[in-house]
């Protein structure tokens, strides 16, 4: 799987994230502080990673900043992206299952090495729900991306 990864800081957890993803057999497309010479501002690098997903150049993305909040906000501004800020494995599983999230947002401050592994395990083990209500919710969010709402 091709995964775009961005971080606004060259932190140990960001480097570990890239190492973990590659160790799991994924191709990593680095952005921000993970790519020498790239713009590392969280809004810029998170948007660029999210656009890789929206444009079909990456299957998923992981965006990081100190709290994870800014990275998730920036990624969610890109149409077609459903970014979820996940601080634990349960949230990561639910984001994939109920929200069909395609971008994982992480906090560089709160994510430890063991927690990172648990979150990634849950994220990659999960997939979108086939439940009609869950699919209807995702479809509604997709309509919102296009500036439309449904009754």
Which residues are identified as catalytic?
A: 65
Contacts of 40 (CB under 8 A, 6+ apart): 7, 8, 9, 32, 33
Distance CA 89, CA 48 (A): 25
Contacts of 91 (CB under 8 A, 6+ apart): 84
Residue 125's CB is within 10 A of a number of other CB atoms, namely 12
The closest of 146, 130, 71 to 103, measured between CA atoms, is 71
Q: How many Å is the maximal CA-CA distance in the chain?
A: 47
Task: Map residue 27 onto helix, strand or coil.
Answer: strand
The closest of 144, 120, 1 to 64, measured between CA atoms, is 120
């Amino acid at each position: 799987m091709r995964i775009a990864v961005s971080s606004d800081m060259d932190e140990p957890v960001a480097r570990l994230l890239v190492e973990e993803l590659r160790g799991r057999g994924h191709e990593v497309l680095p952005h921000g502080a993970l790519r020498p010479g790239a713009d590392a501002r969280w809004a810029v690098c998170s948007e660029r990673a999210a656009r890789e997903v929206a444009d079909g150049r990456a299957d998923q993305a992981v965006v990081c900043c100190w709290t994870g909040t800014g990275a998730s906000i920036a990624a969610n501004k890109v149409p077609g992206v459903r970014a979820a800020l996940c601080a634990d494995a349960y949230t990561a599983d639910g984001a994939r299952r109920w929200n069909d999230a395609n971008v994982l947002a992480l906090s560089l401050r709160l994510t430890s090495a063991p927690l990172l592994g648990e979150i990634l395990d849950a994220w990659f083990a999960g997939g979108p729900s086939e439940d009609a209500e869950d699919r209807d919710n995702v479809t509604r969010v997709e309509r919102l991306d296009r500036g439309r709402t449904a009754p």
